[in-house]
Amino acid sequence: MSANQQQLRDGFASLIARVGRQWRRAVDRRLQPFGLTEATWLPLIHLARAPVPLRQKELAASLVLDGSSVVRLLDSLEAAGLIERREESADRRAKTISVTERGRAIIDQVEAASLAVRNATLVGVSDDDIATATRVLDVVRRNLADQLGGEA
């Protein structure tokens, strides 16, 4: 491997992490007037976009968080009236999480802020470049999932 190739690979992971942090900060900044941070808006988005109501364990996996962190997060979201937990089976521990009407209104604001950040961020980036970057990042994601035993 050439020195230039090594230099590109060395900076790649750092760049991904930096861009991810900046992107989330930009969305957080847009959502400050609503009192939202990534810790509150990200789980709401996952719940709203899920095709069926999620259970706590499924939400934790989609957020790549441990169960105890999700319990505290859900307690906070429930106390704010943004979600509710419902028993859906004989197993009382297997509760599904539903977004409330108030939570849906917040999600609409989050989606609008996210769209505004995305549009401003991707100015000057071609669809071909986005497709290439998406393919590359998906390969990286799959490789990391393989290293983590299937966690995607």
Would you list the domain boundaries of the chain? 37-108
Note the pLDDT tens digit of each residue in 43-60.
998 999 999 889 988 998
Question: What's the CATH architecture for 37-108?
Answer: Orthogonal Bundle (1.10)
What are the CA-CA distances from residue 71 to residues 8, 16, 28, 34, 56 (Å)?
A: 40, 29, 22, 23, 8
Which two three-digit tokens encode residue 88? 């859906």
C-alpha span between 38 and 67 (Å, rounded): 18
H or E element in which residue 11 lies: helix 3-31
The predicted pLDDT at position 22 comes to 94
Beta strand 54-55 with 83-87 is unpaired
Look up the pTM and report it: 0.70
C-alpha span between 87 and 93 (Å, rounded): 8
- Residue of 115, 97, 104, 103 lying closest to 57 (CA atoms): 97
What are the CA-CA distances from residue 7 to residues 3, 14, 18, 144 (Å)?
A: 6, 12, 17, 20
The pLDDT confidence band at residue 63, using thresholds 50, 70 and 90, is confident
What are the CA-CA distances from residue 39 to residues 12, 53, 73 (Å)?
A: 26, 19, 8
Note the pLDDT tens digit of each residue in 5-16.
888 888 998 999
- Residue of 124, 44, 133 lying closest to 84 (CA atoms): 44
Note the pLDDT tens digit of each residue in 133-147.
999 999 998 999 899
